Amino acid sequence: MASALPEPGPRWRSAEFLRSLTAVSPATLTAYDRDLRQFVDWIGRMGVETPEAVTRLQLRRHLGHLTIRNYAKRTIARRASTLRRYFGWLLRANVIATDPSAGLSAPRGDGRLPRVLRRDELEQILGTDVVPGPTDLRDSVVTELLYGSGLRVAELCGISPGEVDLQAGTVDVLGKGSKYRRLPLSEPCSQVLDAWLHGGRAAFVADVCRADHEPGALLLNRRGNRLGPRDARRILDARSSEPTHPHALRHTFATHLLDGGADLRTVQELLGHADLGTTQLYTHVSRERLRKVYEQSHPRA
């Protein structure tokens, strides 16, 4: 959780707050840490040195400051969420008598729809014409799991070999909130996983890894460590003609399911969304795609 800003002083109890967050991902924890460091640095320049002295007006001014600095609406919304959670924890810990963040609002997200990959982009990334050496086989497992099962990249990187059941055609993944869910494997994904688990992974360790490997990881990088999100991003960039985020494959997975007639609740279960409203975003994506097809195809469009 390294940051260019110093850690807040002990009276802010930020380290204790962060340790209390046991059900969040490492990326979320890093974001909370960064948000708090920036807030404490900002309000310290206003002459405020303790959380007890923070007022609701100062919190609103902090969000306004971010708006003036042209921070993205999503970032400001996350910062407001961090502050609400932090001051709520301080209230429960009896550090403050009243919560200045109660009801603190932030601008809504910018409403951008997730990008859905074109068919030619998807085929290029999935590498259907790639001759599978050990590295290419590993990369195919990455892309097939991201698209075929709709995994988050952190879920992909966290899989262990024992969580793959080729006979049942399923994979168990640890999602947000430390909740496991069992997902089906596509037929192409089952095939590359079978090849990876029965010879490919061992060949990768022998031919590619530069050091001892981590035995509990399904996917490895060249250093023998568990594959990380940056490694996955590099794999996609190497296979794509333009920069592609791993989440684009998850977006494409969900949109293709809805386009194919899947109901929203099923897609919610597959994606591991706690809130159905998050999944409903993909209905807008599908409607937009249908609109484009209509405009391109109907003579009166």
Confirm if 171 and 165 have CB atoms less than 8 A apart.
Answer: yes
Q: Which residues contact 133 (CB under 8 A, 6 or more apart)?
A: none
Radius of gyration of the chain (CA): 23
Question: Crossing angle for the helix pair 187-195 and 134-148, nearest 10 degrees?
Answer: 150
Q: Which residues contact 261 (CB under 8 A, 6 or more apart)?
A: none
CA atoms of 210 and 205, how far apart (whole Å):
8
Confirm if 36 and 8 have CB atoms less than 8 A apart.
Answer: yes
Annotated catalytic sites, by residue?
152, 176, 247, 250, 273, 282
| H-assigned helices in 70-152 | 73-92, 119-126, 134-148
CA atoms of 5 and 11, how far apart (whole Å):
17
Token pair 């998807």 in the structure block, residue = 122
